[in-house]
Amino acid sequence: MEFLQIVWDPASDGIRLFGNFKIHYYSLMWMVAFILGFYIMKKIYKNEDQEESKLDSLFVYSVLGIMIGARLGHVIFYQTELFRDDFLSVFLPFKFSGGFEFTGFRGLASHGAAIGMIIAMYLYNKKVLKKSVLWILDRIVIACASGAIFIRVGNFFNSEIIGKVASTDLPWAVVFKQVDGLPRHPGQLYEAFGYIFVFIILFVLYWKTKKAQQEGFLFGLFLVLLMTVRIFVEQFKIAQVDGREDWILGLNTGQFLSTPFILIGLYFMFFHRQKND
For the segment 223-270, what is each residue's pLDDT rounded down to a tens digit? Answer: 999 999 999 999 999 877 666 666 677 788 888 999 999 999 999 999
85 within domain boundaries: yes
Distance CA 158, CA 187 (A): 13
Nearest alpha-carbon partner for 108 in 142, 138, 143, 67: 67
Number of domains forming the structure of the chain: 1
Q: Is residue 174 part of a domain?
A: yes
Give the residues of the chain that fall short of pLDDT 50.
1-3, 277
- Please list the residues that pair with 183 across neighbouring strands: 175
Strands, E assignment, the chain: 6-8, 14-18, 21-24, 94-95, 101-102, 174-176, 183-184
**Domain presence at residue 157:** yes
Residue 200 lies in a domain: no
Please give the residue range of the domain that contains residue 130: 6-195
Question: Angle at the Cα of 226 (from 223 to 232), degrees rounded to 5?
Answer: 125
Backbone angles phi, psi at 48, to 5 degrees: -95, 5
Residue 91 lies in a domain: yes
The whole-model pTM stands at: 0.87
Task: For residue range 12-35, list pLDDT tens digits in order.
Answer: 666 666 656 667 778 889 899 999
Domain contains 152: yes
SS3 147: helix
203 inside domain: no
